[in-house]
Amino acid sequence: MDIVFGDQKVTVAEVKRALANKQQFVQLDDGSLGILPEEWIKRYSLLFRIGEGKAQNLRLSKYHMSVIDELYNERNEEELFVQLEEKYDRLRGFKSIREVDPPAHLQPILRPYQAFGFQWLNYLSEVNWGGILADDMGLGKTIQSLSFLQHYRDTHDRLKALVVCPTTLMFNWENEIRKFAPTLSYHIHHGGERTRNKALLENKNVIITTYGTLRSDIKLLVEMEFDCVVLDESQAIKNPSSKVTKAASLLRAKHRLCMSGTPLQNNTFDIYAQMNFLNPGMLGSMEFFRQEFAIPIDKFGEQDRKDHLRKILFPFILRRTKEQVAKDLPEKTETILWCEMEEEQRKIYDAYRNDFRDKILGTIESQGMQKSQLTILQGLMKLRQICDSPAILNEQEKFENHSIKLEELGREITENISNHKALVFSQFLGMLALIRKKLTELEVEFEYFDGSTSAIDREKAIQRFQNDDKCRIFLISLKAGGVGLNLTAADYVYIVDPWWNPAVEQQAIDRTHRIGQTKNIFAYRMICKDTIEDKILQLQDRKRVLARDLIADDEGFVKNLTREDVEYLFS
- How many angstroms separate the CA atoms of 25 and 32, rounded? 10
For the cut 70, the answer to whether the pLDDT of residue 545 exceeds it is no
Which range, 60-74, 285-299, 436-450, has the best average confidence (pLDDT)?
Answer: 436-450
According to the model, what pLDDT value does residue 523 have?
86
Identical fold for domains 111-324 and 333-569, yes or no, is yes
For the cut 80, the answer to whether the pLDDT of residue 543 exceeds it is no
Handedness of CA 524, 527, 533, 537 (dihedral sign): positive
**Would you say the pTM of this structure is higher than 0.75?**
no
Residue 560: burial class (beta carbons within 10 Å; 0-12, 13-18, 19+): middle
pLDDT tens-place string over residues 146-163: 999 999 999 999 999 999
The superfamily in CATH containing domain 333-569 is P-loop containing nucleotide triphosphate hydrolases (3.40.50.300)
CATH architecture for segment(s) 111-324: 3-Layer(aba) Sandwich (3.40)
According to the model, what pLDDT value does residue 542 have?
63
At position 253, the amino acid (one-letter code) is A
Query: Which whole number is the average pLDDT over 84-95?
Result: 46
- How many angstroms separate the CA atoms of 144 and 112, rounded? 11
DSSP 395: S
According to the model, what pLDDT value does residue 493 have?
87
* pLDDT averaged over every residue in the chain: 80
Radius of gyration in angstroms for the set of CA atoms belonging to the chain, rounded to a whole number: 28
Residue 292, CB-side half-sphere exposure with 13 Å CA sphere: 21
pLDDT band at 208; cut points 50, 70, 90: very high
pLDDT greater at residue 203 or residue 539:
203
For the cut 60, the answer to whether the pLDDT of residue 64 exceeds it is no
pLDDT tens-place string over residues 326-344: 676 667 788 888 888 988 9
According to the model, what pLDDT value does residue 207 have?
95
- How many angstroms separate the CA atoms of 133 and 148, rounded? 12
pLDDT tens-place string over residues 213-267: 998 888 888 889 999 999 998 888 888 888 888 888 888 899 999 998 777 756 7
According to the model, what pLDDT value does residue 520 have?
75
List the domain boundaries for the chain.
3-93, 111-324, 333-569
Query: Which whole number is the average pLDDT over 334-359?
Result: 89
Which of 457, 512, 502, 456 has the alpha carbon at shortest distance from 481?
512
For the cut 50, the answer to whether the pLDDT of residue 73 exceeds it is no
According to the model, what pLDDT value does residue 347 have?
93
- Pairing mode of beta strands 3-5, 8-10: antiparallel
For the cut 90, the answer to whether the pLDDT of residue 199 exceeds it is no
- How many angstroms separate the CA atoms of 428 and 133, rounded? 37
According to the model, what pLDDT value does residue 183 have?
94
Orientation angle between helical segments 429-441 and 373-388, nearest 10 degrees: 0
Which phi-psi region, left, alpha or beta, contains residue 56 (left: φ > 0; alpha: ψ -120 to 50)? alpha
According to the model, what pLDDT value does residue 111 have?
86
